[in-house]
Structure 1
Amino acid sequence: MPRNLDLTALRAFVAVVDAGGVTKASGFLNLTQSAVSMQLKRLEEALDVALFNRAERKLNLTGAGEQMLSYARRMLELNDEVLGRLTAKEYEGTISLGVPHDVVYPAIPEVLQRFNTAFPRMRVQLLSMGTINLKAAFARAEVDVILTTEEDVDRGGETLLERPMVWVGAQNGQMWRQRPLPLALEDACIFRGPALSALDAAGISWELAVEADSIRTVEATVSADLAVHAIIEGTESPYAEKIEHGGALPALPRIQINMYRTELKRSEPLDALVGFLRQAYRAM
């Protein structure tokens, strides 16, 4: 059965080393000298090794003691970090994150899970809307971090990923072969203009099978094989797949996933969230 080291004894050990003796360490720890000495004895008995060379007048560490000091510092640092994260007031509150609904998958669930593990007392308020509305909310300082889907990046933004747009349809669907090509597009979707322009340039007739202000309506229409849609490659929903059309549909432009963060708020949790977003999208 594994044994557990006493963190109180470890803290006394580190204090004695740093202070250069039991007398000074007892003052730092607010303990009596005998109590500190007892903690050192308890630690040595638990390890069954001598940590100090007591044959010399000066308090010197043995080889085992030097190794133990390195472990003890790391263990205490981790202990203090855990207690700080779980109890400190600065690790409470809410961070608002805006993400276009068409790039929520597959990265955002992973990001939210990692953030919750690192900062369990904080909450991420997820806002899902189109890029145009997200940028307007960000300009009004209503959201801390936003992701956008754009053909370029504005000042202050950071491009996390650049991928081509692709045509998507129902799994094993055939609606992409129909002419006029039935489309499912949101009213304010940033992909709408590039998709229609590409079809017009290729001389392919099209019709809007559905116009909606909700991505759910679009997804339902596409998954039922009633229309096709255009999205960033790699962000397909579980209900659709990239259409392998062999050139029957026109190529679409490349789109950037950009990130903008507020300069009005600085905190370790916000920095961590930004870092998780970078890692998740750049790994795609």
Structure 2
Amino acid sequence: MRNLDILAIRSFVAVAETGGFTQAAPLVHRSQSAVSMHLRKLELALGLTLLTRSPTGAALTEEGQKFLTEARRILATHDSAIARLTGPQVSGHVRLGIMDDFASAFLPTIIARFQQKFPDVTLHVTTGTTSQFARQLGSRFDLVLATQAQSDLSGTLLRKEPLGWAAQGRPVATPLQLVVMPAGNLFREMAEAALREAGHAYRIAYEGNSIPAVEAAAAAGIGIAVVKQSTAREDLVLLDAKDGLPRLAPVGIVLHESETSHTDAAVKSLRKYLVQAFAGSAG
């Protein structure tokens, strides 16, 4: 009888969900080379080719697509059994506020694994402008994952996030056409401050009320936008000093917790899980 390694299965699902070995490595807290070894071991055990490798990532084969459904079922059963048979049961509701881009990028994988480990916890997730969410801790949210300037950090710093200028392509028109969020948004303030300091002429060409709206406008060629490099749309071109644009300082990804939720087991469990997940993705 063939035996499948649970960590190899977990690595396979992470690669399938993120599209690459580099992106998957932090999610399973292993190096890229270890994830690659796990996949070779799994393919050897199954006698199947699950992935096609390329310099830009990995794609599922037909056999890989079929096995992905089974792999997710195996992990769900495994993690649920571990959660139920070890330690006290955690149940309850957690209200989480997060940024639009993180909600659609790698956070769904983290949340899915949290719910496999804590199946009796219900999550209420709201996406939007997290600077406003942070002011609603307690009344509306138990936890808020927010972006803050490094000069104004509060809460628990999870990691530093590099920023970049992004556009449909090169060259960049002058005066610069900015695609931004409404006044008061951190990225807008950073963009305008950096351009003024560098002496660049610019105008606001488009104002959108969400990160997806701003990035879509930039991808359509309306102008340039400030984006998180790790979550920017793939059809955007990241610009730099060679394009004549000033450097942007990194921002902090910060976790805020309501003072009234410190003793709630479900909130504490999600907070701990998020901190550990981001620690695993550092660097």
Q: Check whether TM > 0.5.
A: yes
**2:275 equivalent to 1:275:** no
**2:260 equivalent to 1:264:** yes
What residue in structure 2 maps to residue 150 of structure 1?
A: 148
Task: Determine which structure has more spread, i.e. the larger CA radius of gyration.
Answer: 1
Q: In 1, distance between residues paired with 2:188 and 2:117?
A: 38
Q: In 2, distance between residues paired with 1:100 and 1:257?
A: 10
Q: In 2, distance between residues paired with 1:106 and 1:279?
A: 18
What residue in structure 2 maps to residue 36 of structure 1?
A: none
Deviations 1:39-97 (A, max 9, x none): xxxxxxxxxxxxxxxxxxxxxxxxxxxxxxxxxxxxxxx969526899x6x52x32111
| Contact 1:185–1:218 (8 Å) recurs in 2 | yes
Cα RMSD for the two superposed structures: 2.8
Q: In 2, distance between residues paired with 1:209 and 1:124?
A: 37
Q: In 2, distance between residues paired with 1:111 and 1:239?
A: 25
Specify whether residues 158 and 184 from structure 1 end up closer, same or farther in structure 2 by C-alpha distance, changes over 3 A only.
same
- Given candidates 180, 186, 190, the residue that maps to 1:185 is 180
Alignment of 1:45-194 (within 5 A): 81-82=83-84, 91=91, 93-104=92-103, 106-138=105-137, 140-151=138-149, 152-153=151-152, 157-170=155-168, 173-174=169-170, 177-187=172-182, 188-194=184-190
Amino acid across the alignment from 2:196:
D
Q: In 1, distance between residues paired with 2:115 and 2:130?
A: 25
Amino acid across the alignment from 1:179:
T
Q: In 2, distance between residues paired with 1:240 and 1:120?
A: 37
Runs of 4+ in 1 over 4 A off after TM superposition: 78-81, 83-86
**Deviation (angstroms), 1:144:** 0.6
Specify whether residues 169 and 247 from structure 1 end up closer, same or farther in structure 2 by C-alpha distance, changes over 3 A only.
closer
Q: In 2, distance between residues paired with 1:235 and 1:128?
A: 15
Specify whether residues 182 and 280 from structure 1 end up closer, same or farther in structure 2 by C-alpha distance, changes over 3 A only.
farther
**Deviation (angstroms), 1:106:** 3.3
Amino acid across the alignment from 2:206:
V
Q: In 1, distance between residues paired with 2:239 and 2:152?
A: 28
Specify whether residues 121 and 81 from structure 1 end up closer, same or farther in structure 2 by C-alpha distance, changes over 3 A only.
closer
Q: Identical aligned pairs, as a percentage?
A: 24
Amino acid across the alignment from 1:165:
L
**Deviation (angstroms), 1:197:** 0.9
Q: In 2, distance between residues paired with 1:259 and 1:223?
A: 30
Instruction: State the aligned residue count.
Output: 201
| Contact 2:181–2:211 (8 Å) recurs in 1 | yes
What residue in structure 2 maps to residue 26 of structure 1?
A: none
Q: In 2, distance between residues paired with 1:210 and 1:233?
A: 21
What residue in structure 1 maps to residue 231 of structure 2?
A: 235
Specify whether residues 153 and 200 from structure 1 end up closer, same or farther in structure 2 by C-alpha distance, changes over 3 A only.
closer
Specify whether residues 85 and 128 from structure 1 end up closer, same or farther in structure 2 by C-alpha distance, changes over 3 A only.
farther
**Partner secondary structure for residue 160 of structure 2:** strand
Specify whether residues 186 and 81 from structure 1 end up closer, same or farther in structure 2 by C-alpha distance, changes over 3 A only.
closer
Where in structure 1 are there 5+ consecutive unaligned residues?
3-77
**2:218 equivalent to 1:219:** no
**Partner secondary structure for residue 272 of structure 1:** helix
**Deviation (angstroms), 1:254:** 2.3
| Contact 2:93–2:124 (8 Å) recurs in 1 | yes
**Deviation (angstroms), 1:124:** 1.4
**Partner secondary structure for residue 167 of structure 1:** strand
Q: In 2, distance between residues paired with 1:160 and 1:228?
A: 28
Specify whether residues 237 and 275 from structure 1 end up closer, same or farther in structure 2 by C-alpha distance, changes over 3 A only.
farther
- Given candidates 201, 204, 207, the residue that maps to 1:208 is 204
Amino acid across the alignment from 1:143:
F
Q: TM-score, normalised by structure 1?
A: 0.62
**Deviation (angstroms), 1:181:** 1.1
Specify whether residues 269 and 84 from structure 1 end up closer, same or farther in structure 2 by C-alpha distance, changes over 3 A only.
farther
Amino acid across the alignment from 2:124:
Q
| Contact 1:105–1:236 (8 Å) recurs in 2 | no
**2:244 equivalent to 1:248:** yes
Amino acid across the alignment from 1:130:
T
Where in structure 2 are there 5+ consecutive unaligned residues?
3-79
**Partner secondary structure for residue 225 of structure 1:** coil
**Deviation (angstroms), 1:198:** 0.6
**Deviation (angstroms), 1:244:** 4.3
Q: In 2, distance between residues paired with 1:207 and 1:127?
A: 32
